[in-house]
Structure formats: structure tokens, C-alpha cells
Amino acid sequence: MILTVTLNTALDITYRVRSLRPHASHRVSEVTERPGGKGVNVARVLAALGHEVTVTGFTGGATGRVVRERLASVPGVADALVPVSGATRRTIAVVDEQTGDTTQLNEPGPMVTPTEWSAFQEAYEDLIPSASAVALCGSLPPGVPVGAYAGLVRTARAAGVPVLLDTSGEALRRGVAARPDIIKPNADELAELTGSHEPLRATQDARRRGAGAVVASLGPEGLLAATRDGRWRATSPASVRGNPTGAGDSVVAGLLSGLIEHLPWPDRLARAAALSAATVQAPVAGEFDPGLYEELRAGVVVTGEASAA
């Protein structure tokens, strides 16, 4: 079982409009709703790849009930969400059909009390022994300590469970110091963490700060990985257009599935890059077309070299 942690779960709502224009009324051509938050998106992709996944984090209020109802219909995903008194947030994605661009609006999430945070930590500790790997994903809701991910990383490491961290800002800085096995920042998050805007130098610096491996999402430039085993870059043969929401989450799913399947790093990166591109072309986050994924996977180019033994 792979465990994904989404402390700030969401109900993802996607609107499609013909053309998004400021200060104007819009007729929505299509609406979709999905359980969301980064770790939930990761879980859906992992389940589609054939892995058993358990989702934990916080959920509450009427929106939280909808999230749990929708999550129950996702094959291969088990619900271990922890209830809170506040309401689960919503995220709104507005897709411009003419340009393919997406505008994202993210609510902050519910206020989590110290008692609720303690209840989550107990639930997490109970789940860890059954996990083959853990993904800690996304933002922290109000009330959760900024060092929360660092503590969750240490708990997983103490149990011998590999852990991937995908967050940003101070939560990432503190989490890296707890020595996660993998971190997956985007270019801006990596630059904020290290102070360097040169990706290769920044990935190396992030490793020195404590990460076992760093896989940076560089948008159209693909993925850049710095690991104990070597350094690689994975790129797709052509740029793809669509909804980029969830593309990074598919990278996480590709990396985690490759980790527990003991794939070499170039194969993990090729899988992650192809899943990311396939997700961009899907209508909503956390989904991909298997046939398109296989087609894109065949075209991914991975360059780099292994470290000397």
C-alpha cells in the first residue's frame, strides 16, 4: 500500500469557457467536480497504474462530505481521512478553450485545532507500518504547524518507509532538513529553497540540505534529477497544451511507483515525464489516457549519467 498525505484536501471544480475575459460574464460550457488536493491527485494516478493507495489528511463540512462520497467511487483508493470541524476548501480552475490557458483560484482551507492535529498524527502513525512508501503533498491548512512535514518525514524514516515530499516555502525548507528520500519542487520552489535560479546548481544544493534525491519540474524543459545514483534530465519530444493542473502530481505518482517497483532512475523519470504530459491533455487533474501515456512514454528522452561506483 502506498500512503498519500493531503493535509489540505479540496473539492476541485473545473469550469470550461469559450474565452476568459476580465470584467465580463461567461457562459460555462462544462463543469466537473473531483476530490482534490495534491496527494489525492497522486493517489488517483497511482491507482490507475495498478497500485493500492490509501489517502489521509483532513476533511470536514459539506464540501468534505462530497469529497468522501466521490472518493469512494475511485477504484483502488482507500479513504483514511481525518475529520475536522471546519469545511474542506474548494479550488476553482477556469479553462479558456480558445487558448488552452487555465486560471486557478485556491481557497485557504479549514482552521485545524491542536486536538485535530494530534488526532491526525496518531492516525498517520497507525498507517505508516502498512505503507510501502509515503507521499507528503501540498500546502498546510491554517493551524497546522509550519514544521508539520518535517515531523511526518521523521516518523516515516524511523519506520524505514521511503518518503517523498512535495510542498513549498518554509514547509519545504524545514521538511528537507528532516532528510526525505525525494523532493519534487518546481523551478520557482527550488529557487526559493536554495536562492539559485540555475537548476543544476540548485538541485545539488537541495541535496546538500538533506534531500536524498531532488527531481525538479521545469515545465516545457522537462524534469531534472540529482540523486545518489547520478544526474539525469527527461524531456518530452514535443510540447503539449491543455490543463497543467495536476501535472506535477502525476510526476510524483510516476516517481513513487518507480521507487516501489525498483526501476532505475532513467526509467522512473521517463514514466514521470510521460504521465505529466498525458495529464496536461486530460480534462481534469489526476487523470490520464493510458494509450496517450504509452505513446508519450515511447518518445521521452532521458540524458545524463550514473555516478561512479
Cβ contact 59:84 at 8 Å: yes
Kind of pairing, strands 53-59 and 28-36?
unpaired
Helix axes 38-48, 247-260, angle to 10 degrees: 50
Among 251, 257, 245, which residue's Cα sits nearest to residue 224? 251
C-alpha cell at 100: 488552452
CB atoms within 10 A of CB 63: 19
Asked if 249 is an active-site residue, the reply is: yes
What residue type is 114 in one-letter code? Answer: P
Q: Looking at 229, 249, 267, 289, which residue is catalytic?
A: 249
Cβ contact 72:100 at 8 Å: no
C-alpha cell at 183: 523532493
Residues taking part in catalysis: 249
